[in-house]
Structure formats: structure tokens, C-alpha cells
Structure 1
Amino acid sequence: MSGIAHDLSRRLADRAEAVCRHYLSNGRREGRYWLVGDIRNTPGRSLFVRLQASAKGPAGKWTDAATGEHGDLLDVIRGSLGLLDFAEVADEARAFLNLPPPEPKPASPCRGIASAPSGSVEAARRLFAMSRPIAGTIAETYLRQRGITLLHETGNLRFHPRCYYKPDDGPTETWPAMIAAVTDLTGRITGVHRTWLAPDGSDMAPVDTPRKAMGDLLGCTVRIGVPDTVMAAGEGIETVLSLRQVLPNMAMAPALSAAHLAAILFRPSLRRLYIVRDRDPAGDAARDTLIKRANAEGIEAICLSPALGDFNEDLQRLGMDALRACVRLQLAPEDVLRFMSLAS
């Protein structure tokens, strides 16, 4: 712990109960401890904060019996407010303690690792690094609920059990989330896309905006599969993964929105691009723009259209056989043999 963090942690520990009453307001005092559900101020009794120093340890230390997590009161501030960077946590702690802001320091190349601004590329990379593969998680359950069972070569999809969600009004919440890495043509992460999920994975979380992206997205996509001379690109992750159920060996790239689909960058090796269309005006505009861009670079562009609103709707309502038959009719003949042979 740095000198600044140690000093702030010590000062907060001297006022441990006041800190808990302010930042863990859904808990209550029992004896020498403050009990609450978790560090995000969920009601419950799993997490306990020591309010007074004792033979068991100093004041201000906490442990979550359900998860094994532990820390100090700086972590309580971070978790309860959904803060990402230490500078934000330190500013909040100083405000609570009525301390003056620190003296500004001159810029120096030896000052250590800079904090990552909220929504930045670095913050996106850190979130992805903190997430884990989707196998066996609620994210996998969510995709299977939508008929998506083939999940090979999906290393750019991960799961975070408690991803922060900030509503327009109200306190920060945490929900399980599917985290998708957005990468450039070299594979470098430039952003992430978050899909907040219901705790049982049955659907998206009941929040106003269950899908949000952060970082630099223009021209970049979520890469699924190994790049080749042929690939497919579409808008939503679920839509593209639905198509991959019947074309399991084709590289695909969700661009996350119609506007970003129209602006994707092409690999020099690309010779044929399948444009996965959504049946709406924005999808039509993206298709037209992308066809013109692809043709201008000598890339054959073929539009794949769903029978219903999108390919995930086709998969769920019409079934795998109907989806396969619909797609087969729209592929170049050589690609039927190359990419659909294992799915027939």
C-alpha cells in the first residue's frame, strides 16, 4: 500500500462506524462489527467490517464470508460507489474526511502507472482482464437460452459476475455481465461491450440500457474465429453467433451497431464479405454503405438476410433446420461446401 493509501486507510479506520453508516447504509451494527451483504452495499449479513481494533486485527478491515474477499475501508468506498481508479477513491475519501486536496505534482516519467479514466481504452482493457472465460458461467447460460450452443473460438467473450452499472438516476448497481473484447485488425483491444444479465442467465438484466460499450470502437469489431479470405460481419453478438451455429468454421465479426458495422476495417487478405443484415432501416443503411466500401476495395460483398427480424429470432422461432436452409440459399456455392459441410 502506498503512503497516501496507508494514511487515508488509517484515518478512515479511526471513523470506521461513520464510514460504514455512510457507504454501507443497507447494513447495521452488531457488537463490534458492521454487517451487510457485500461491498456493493447489498442488504444481507455476509460481509462484516471490524469497527474497533482487537486481538483479531485493526479497525476498518472487512471480510466477505461468502466470497472470501477482504480489504480495508478504501475498498468499501471503491465498491459501494463503483469507482475504478484509485485517484477517484482517494478524492472521495478526502471529501468524507474533510481533508484538503493534495498538492499538484509536476509531470514526471517516473511517477508510476497512470489511472485509467472511466470509459477509456485502458479501463476497457482492465475490465476484460478482470473477467473470466464464459464456459460454465451465467453468460453461457444466457447464450444457450437464446439457442446458441456452439461457442468454439469465442475467447473474446468473457464473463464478469459483478459488473458495475450506473443508471441515469440512482446509485451504482452491480449485475452479472457478458464482456466482449473489441479489437482492431492486429488483435489489440480498443474497447469492450457489456451485456448485463439477469442473475440466473435467463435474459438480460432488467435495467434501462442492458447493453453498453466503452473505449474506441470505430472500425473495430468483436473477432470470433480465425481470420480468412472469407468472413461475415453483423451488428449484434447474439445475431452473429446465431449464424455461426450453421456456419461453424467461418470467421465472424459483430460490430455492435449499424453505424459501426458500416465503418468496419477490412483485412488485406479479405476477398468475400458476408453482411449479416438486420431487418430495419438502420440495418439497410449499414448494408448499402458497407457494400460500396467493400466493392471499392475489390471485395465481393454478399448480404445475408433473415426470414424474421434477425438471425437469432430465426434460430429461436423457426429452428436450426430452417435457419440452415435460409442461409444455404444465400451463400456462394463454394462456401456451402467449405463452411456448411459439418453442419449439414
Structure 2
Amino acid sequence: MNRIRTAEEEQEYRRKQQHETRLLNETLKGRWDQVLPGLIPGLDLAVERGHQHHITCPFHGGVNDFRIFQDFADTGGAICSCGKWTDGWALLMHARRCTFFEAKKMLVEALGGRFDASNLPVRYVKAKDPDEVARKDAFNKKIVQQIWGDALPLTDDRSAPVRRWFYNRQLHEVRGPLNVLRCHPALEYFTERNVTHTGPAMVAMMTDINGRTCGLHRTWITNDGRKANVESVRRLTSSISTHPIEGSAVKFDTEPHPVLMIGEGIESSLAARAIAGYPTWSALNQNQMTKVEVPDYVQAVIVWADRDHNGVGQTAAAELVARLRKAGKKAVCVIPPFAPAPGEKTVDWNDVLRSLGLEEARKLPIVLQVLEPLRASLN
């Protein structure tokens, strides 16, 4: 019969586990791409192809549906229509259907039974050719300029597909001018360098803390404002080395204000904007959510989190709140009041708006608990 640990022994055990996990995280940063492919069948192809290419999902088999994050070596994160994993822990636990401690054991074994990288081969990082980097940057910048230049303001009659897209999501009170959103009337969709679809798309501009364009987010839709029949409805353009996407956001409002709201997806963020009325940005995804850079003039930040079945959205929002508080800003996280329905993976604030209606969403206790003290402090 196993003896029950005393309180002191339990505390010491937890300290040891936390210390080991810290060591593992430190060791694996910059090395997830060396370790995970040996633990997750099929992941080696995604690592070989890189973050700009989609592969057949190793989990559900979706063609050209899975890709790793740009910072995969540091984080181990990946995304697919079947899920989002912001770090290697989440990806490994999903792939192997295992617990955190089982994943930890696998990682230690992959490191040769150690918590350091002494048993891994020495990594030689090839220096990037400046001319090749400049060539890619020029090409990617040209693509961004061409797409944005061909896209139309939402007030244009030909932008009706995006307006219908918003209407279908009960985003009836989307205040203008929303200059960072446009409608491309006929945007090509590529699969392995072949055009497989051409149709309307909502195009969103991402800018950094200095207002520089970092890339474009594209959502392919139909003329009647629904999701297009393509493998991956949402895509980012390739990044430019001098203007990295990390830290950027889709900034619906840029006039200086002491309060800023940050949501995840575009539609969820616009729903939060309609509910609360403060300046709003969209981080686009959980990975970006943790890295958004906030201006000095902002005093308080409300983070409107997605409520994911696996908790990833809530965790990303909590990380952002913790970072902002550490920087001396007031920050709070607001989570949707109900969980995903059976078979669904997430609930965002657009789901809340569509379920309850705008007026009822504004009356939610969790919303009032955040907004009323904030409004009082600003008066």
C-alpha cells in the first residue's frame, strides 16, 4: 500500500516537478523542431517544408490543412482546421492522446533521459544569404502591395460580399471607416503554386507598433457572405524580415485612447467592439494574442478571449494579461459565459453576440463587472 505524502513532501514534489518542467522548456526552446518529429509521425514533413507551406494533416488527414508556426523551433506550435496548438506540449499531448506527465516522460526520453540537450546533435545554423533575404522580402512586399491595391474599401458597392459576411454574423453595428479592412473582388487561392479558386475575400491589414504594414490576413468568402469552399478559408501572407508579424495586429481603431480592447479573430473582436464600444484590435490567433505590442498611451486593456475546449484561447489571453500587468498597465480578461457545444471546439464573442443578441450581450454580468468600474474610473 502506497504511503500518502505529507504536506511538506507534496510541496517538495511539486517544486521538483516545476523545476524539471522549467529545465525542459529552457532546453527545448530553439530545439522543438529537432525533438517533436521523432515523437509525432508525419510531423517531419511539416518541419521540412517550413511554416509557409501546408501539408496533409497528420491527425485527421485534411489535404494541405496543417502547418507549423513561424517560431516552431522556439515554441513547437502548429495550426490546422482540426485544432490550434500554441506550444509543443499541447501538440504532443494531442498527437499521442496523453497527459502532461506522459508527454514530459516522452520528451525526457527523447533527450536521452536528461533535462538538457547534451545528447542532441550539435546544431549548425546556416547564415541566411542577405541577397536571398532581400529578394524574398521584395517579392513578399510586392504581393502585399498588389493585393491591398486591388482590394476595395468596404463602402464600395463591389464590397457587398464582406458587408453580407458581417450581416450574416449579426455584426450590424460595425462602425466605420475600418480602413484596415477591404474586399478583394476576385482573389486567387493557391494550392501548391496552382490556382484552385478565385473569388471574393475579406482582406485585413496587420500593422506593428510603429504603424508599418507587416502582412495581410485573407478570408475567402462567397458573394452571399459565407465561407468559400476552399481547404483553408483564412490565410496570412508571407512575412517580411524587416517588418515581422509578431507583435502586430489588425487595428480597427488607432486614435489614442486610455482603453484598448484586444480580441482574437476579426469577427470576435468586432463583436466585442459592438458590445463595449472602446477602441479595438484583433490579434487574429492565439499565437499572436500573446505577443501584441500595446502603445504607451494605453492605460487599461480588456482582452476578449475565445473559450476553447482545450483551453488554449483562455491561456493565450491570460498570458497577454500577465505581460501587460507586468508592464504596469491595468489588464483584465473576459471569457464567453458558455462553453462550446458538443462537437464544437470553441466559442468566441461573435458566437455570444449571435446567440444572445447585442442588447442581452451588453447586459451579461461578466461584461458589466468589467465595464462599469472602468467607465466610472474614466469619468
TM-score (norm 2): 0.55
**For residues 7-46 of structure 1, what are the structure 2 equivalents within 5 Å?**
none
Aligned to 1:302: 332
Matches within 5 A, 1:41-120: 120=140
Query: After superposition, where does 1:252-263 map in structure 2 within 5 Å?
Result: 252-263=280-291
Give the fraction of aligned pairs with identical amino acids, expressed as a percent.
Answer: 26
Displacement of 1:252 in angstroms is: 0.8
Distance 1:172 1:232, change over 3 A: same
Partner of 1:284: 314
Paired position in structure 1 for 2:153: 133
Q: In 1, Cα distance between the equivalents of 2:297 and 2:177?
A: 20
Letter in 2 for 1:204: K
Partner AA of 2:316 in structure 1: A
Alpha-carbon separation, structure 1, partners of 2:377 and 2:222: 38
Cα pair distance change 1:205/1:158, threshold 3 Å? same
Q: Which runs of 5+ in 2 are unaligned?
A: 1-130, 339-346
The aligned counterpart of 2:267 is 238
2:351 corresponds in structure 1 to 313
* Deviation readout 1:71-128 (Å, 9 max, x if unpaired): xxxxxxxxxxxxxxxxxxxxxxxxxxxxxxxxxxxx9xxxxxx89665x244223311
Contact 2:263/2:272, CA 8 A, preserved across alignment: no
In structure 2, the partner of 1:155 is 179
TM-score by length of 1: 0.61
The aligned amino acid for 2:303 is I
Q: Contact conserved, 2:197 with 2:230, CA < 8 A, in 1?
A: no
Report if the CA contact (8 A) 1:121-1:190 is conserved.
Answer: no
- What are the Cα deviations for residues 123-177 of structure 1, in whole angstroms up to 9, with x where unaligned? 2233112211112421111111101122324110000001111135964321100
CA RMSD of superposed structures (Å): 2.6
User: Taking structure 1 as reference, are residues 282 and 121 closer, same or farther at Cα in structure 2, changes over 3 Å only?
Assistant: farther
For 2:137 and 2:296, the matched residues in 1 are separated by 33
- Bigger mean CA offset, 163-172 vs 174-183: 163-172
String of CA shifts for 1:269-315, please: whole Å, max 9, x gaps. 11111111100122122112112210111011111111241110111
1:145 aligns with 2:168: yes
Matched, 1:123 2:143: yes
| Counterpart amino acid of residue 214 in structure 2 | T
- Residue ranges of structure 1 left out of the alignment (5+ in a row): 1-106, 108-113
8 Å Cα contact 1:229-1:269 kept in structure 2: yes
Residues in 2 aligned to 1:205 and 1:145: alpha-carbon distance in whole angstroms? 14
Indicate the SS of the match to 2:280: strand
1:247 alignment partner in structure 2: 276
Shift, 1:265, TM fit? 0.6
Higher helix proportion (structure 1 or 2): 2
- Size of the aligned set, in residue pairs, is 226
Tell which structure's C-alpha radius of gyration is larger: 1
CA contact (8 A) 2:314 2:335 kept: no
1:336 CA drift (Å):
4.0
Are 1:333 and 2:372 counterparts? yes
Q: Which amino acid aligns with 1:313?
A: D
Residue matched to 1:322? 360
